[in-house]
Amino acid sequence: MKTKKNVRTDATEYLKSVEKINVRIKQKKERIEELRQSALSTGISISPDRIQKSHDEGTPNIINEYLDLEEEIRNDVLRMERVKNLITDMIHKLEDARYIDILYERYVNLRRIEDIAEHKPYSTGHAWRLHNEAIKEFQEVLNESNERCRGNV
């Protein structure tokens, strides 16, 4: 039997998938800017539509790393959209519209609970209570989904 803490952790970790991918994308974009600045300081102009990847020994590693990161970001963005769709589908299985709303805003739109409460007719404390209740219900939906997957294997 799962404890309250484990239930919250499992559901929250699943829901935080979008946030984790988003953080990786932001960090890769920061790295791309660093590479671009480094290339400019060495006299190389990097623009995605003006360079092509080359494996020639004379091609600076900066360009290849830049292009690799651009490709990784494109793949991460696509993966993030797929994960958002999966999470949205799972959230929409909840019965309470308030739960759907708060989980969608928090984990798909990546808004803070405090920011969500600011635009709703309830306090931050009440928003946190709704969030915690929604996490419990979401865990049940997640468990049911996992059971169906195990049954189909």
pLDDT confidence band for 72 (50 / 70 / 90) = very high
* d(C-alpha 49, C-alpha 96), whole Å: 47
d(CA 65, CA 31): 10
Question: ∠ CA 100-102-107 to the nearest 5 degrees?
Answer: 95
pLDDT in tens, 74-122: 999 999 999 999 999 999 999 999 999 999 999 999 999 999 999 999 8
Cα gap 134→112, rounded to integer Å: 15
CA 116 – CA 122 distance, rounded (Å): 9
Q: Flag whether pLDDT at 151 surpasses 80.
A: no
Q: Give pLDDT tens digits for 7-53.
A: 455 899 999 999 999 999 999 999 999 988 887 777 766 665 555 44
